[in-house]
Amino acid sequence: MPVPLPLAIPLGTASLAYLSAKYALPNDLKLLSSYISAIVKIGLAARNDKLNFFYRLETLALSKTHANHPFIKYNGRTWTYREGYDMVLKYGTWLKETHNVAKGEVVAIDCVNSQLFVWIWFGLWSIGAKAAFINYNLTGKPLLHSVKTSTARLMLVDPDVSDAVNAEALQEFGSLEFRDGKGAVECVFLTPELEAEIEAVPAKRLPDEERAGETLSGMGNLIYTSGTTGLPKPAVVSWQKIWLSTVFVTGWLPLKQSDTLYTCMPLYHSSAAILALLTTLQAGSTIAIGRKFSRTTFWSDVRSSGATGIQYVGETCRYLLSAPPSPDDKNHNVRFAFGNGMRPDVWDKFKSRFGIQTIAEFYSATESPSGLWNHSSNGYAAGAVGRNGKLAEAVLGSTMRVFKMDFENNLLYRDPKTGLAAEAPRNEAGELLFKLDEKDIQSKFQGYYGNNKATNSKVVMDVLKKGDAWFSTGDVMRWDNEGRWYFVDRIGDTYRWKSENVSTAEVAECLGAVEGVEEVNVYGVTVPKHDGRAGCAAVVLDGLSGYQGKSRAQEVERRLRKMAERARKELPRYAVPLFVRVARKLETTGTNKHQKHHLREEGIVPEKIQGAGDEIWWLKDGTYVQFGGADYGRLEDGAVKL
């Protein structure tokens, strides 16, 4: 019997909506259209020999639509595209004429967030040179190593980091042997007086020949890894990655000319430099730069800049949630938060409290040839680092796969007969790999500058067939039947206890939901006379400053009891942390990502932990009690079996 038209229309609409949600059609169309746009634009830039991103700034600065449009907002000031372009030419002229910086030369930048960082960066591009972004938090050996591996003979230093680039460091840089016999490194401090001199330099545009000949796989920048497991490594950021990332994100967010994106993440990192600043340039919109992250000033900076989007990395959103509620929490123009590393237990709370319509979460790494993307405006994919349906899988699925792991040895599982890897079924955790062209690996993965050993360590061969090549992300992921990608853990962070694999991320998510727990960092620790690693959770408890003496101890005990109750209820028995370190604060990178290596090194030795001003507790009779030297001695004697 025919269905009446008034009834057929809503039924058809509902069916279409159901199918769209089930197969993620709108999501996939957004992904694919943004990707295709990126491919087209990068092809045009390469064909016209305009891969150098200086040309994108120049095009906008000389256009009628953008010359007077705000480019950068910082510290209460605004620079238009034309003003920014003129400053870039001045810095380029100064670098060329005063320091003889040559085409293709690498110059190190050790600067805090400001417009100055941008003028130097683009000034180098304007004369065909390249920048190596030095983490301004580095001192001592990591700083010396970073500058040395850049091969730079010139480093421009912000006076605000003079404590790091101190007399001892300057003496090292000044040695004629510092660059392996190629001479010293000249350190130039960008004082206000020098800035004024540079601004007085006539702006000169060098001919296109000075920027000609760039290739897709050629170096656009050097950006360093965080160095959480060793010394920082300079990753080559190619022009292809810069163009693909910025065009893709512009369409995927989407970002319009009228938008202002606020970031206070460090510009020495790819998230802020490439995915925020260069993306706003690609879109012809505005970047608002914060000097550094501050929980107390974040939202006032956002409001004063008129930002319509904000960038986050790591635990940024958790820190914002930990601030006392304010009547102004929703008093802003922000419609999206864009970044990576938002924990599932923070996701909905952050959206609800601050009235954020969309979370645009992504997964990637500075050196990675690809990434995952989750544009989430509802609760369906909350907590996922990426999402794709059947359409996107059909087009892009062969370029990324999750493979089974040998968790005992932290290696890919290999079939004993064929030696090949095996794909993990949906919902099973395994390592995420991205496909490379085995005939031209460098076309997608340029690796680490001057470090073939580290570069080769990221390439996995003979995965699905003999001779194929894949990029090793080093991350354990889970891909569910609905196409949602979930981060499980870093390889090496996952630990084994009682012959079971424990995901530190999943344990942290569980404990982070306990009232009064501000931060959690979970890791495995060695225990005397025990095999494997036991779980330890380093926690920061909120509001303890209001308690003293006995009342403080009772409050800590109460909260840890709640933590134990939740862990025993929500987690498998083997995943419940046996130890809790109550910390004053947790160590993070410059992009608010937790660091674990120092915590692992100190383990559960009471003297080391108390020496750092922290406390150590352990699980006994269903709750946590204080753990002391005598308890550790009993473990060493084998008198206690956990």
CB atoms within 10 A of CB 113: 23
311 versus 396: the higher-pLDDT residue is: 311
Overall average pLDDT of the 390-408 stretch: 89
Overall average pLDDT of the 563-573 stretch: 91
Average per-residue pLDDT for the chain? 92
The reported pLDDT for the residue numbered 301 is 98
Overall average pLDDT of the 255-282 stretch: 98
- CA-based torsion, 328, 332, 335, 341: positive or negative: negative
* pLDDT of 370 higher than 90: yes
Report helix, strand or coil for 450. coil
H-helix or E-strand spanning residue 12: helix 5-23
The reported pLDDT for the residue numbered 224 is 95
Overall average pLDDT of the 58-72 stretch: 98
Cα(509)–Cα(504) distance, integer angstroms: 9
Confidence band, pLDDT 50/70/90 cuts, at residue 403: very high
* pLDDT of 13 higher than 90: no
* pLDDT of 559 higher than 60: yes
Confidence band, pLDDT 50/70/90 cuts, at residue 11: very low
- Side-chain half-sphere exposure of 418, counting CA atoms within 13 A: 12
The reported pLDDT for the residue numbered 57 is 99
Overall average pLDDT of the 150-154 stretch: 98
Overall average pLDDT of the 462-485 stretch: 95
The reported pLDDT for the residue numbered 181 is 85
Overall average pLDDT of the 359-385 stretch: 94
The reported pLDDT for the residue numbered 209 is 97
H-helix or E-strand spanning residue 361: strand 358-363
Confidence band, pLDDT 50/70/90 cuts, at residue 536: very high
Q: What pTM does this model have? A: 0.86
The reported pLDDT for the residue numbered 532 is 84
Please answer whether residues 345 and 317 qualify as being in contact, where contact means their C-beta atoms are separated by less than 8 angstroms: no
Per residue in 299-352, pLDDT (tens digit) is 999 999 999 999 999 889 989 998 999 999 999 999 999 999 998 889 999 999
Most confident of 279-293, 556-570, 577-591: 279-293
Q: Which two tokens stand for residue 542?
A: 């909120």
Q: Which residue, among 75, 71, 69, has the nearest Cα to 84 in the 3D structure?
A: 71
The reported pLDDT for the residue numbered 608 is 93
Domains of the chain, each with CATH number or no CATH: 390-489 (2.30.38.10), 493-636 (3.30.300.30)
Overall average pLDDT of the 479-504 stretch: 88
Query: What is the chain's percent helix, strand, coil content, to nearest 5?
Result: 40, 25, 40
Please answer whether residues 493 and 533 qualify as being in contact, where contact means their C-beta atoms are separated by less than 8 angstroms: no
**At what angle are helices 54-61 and 115-126 packed, to 10 degrees?**
110
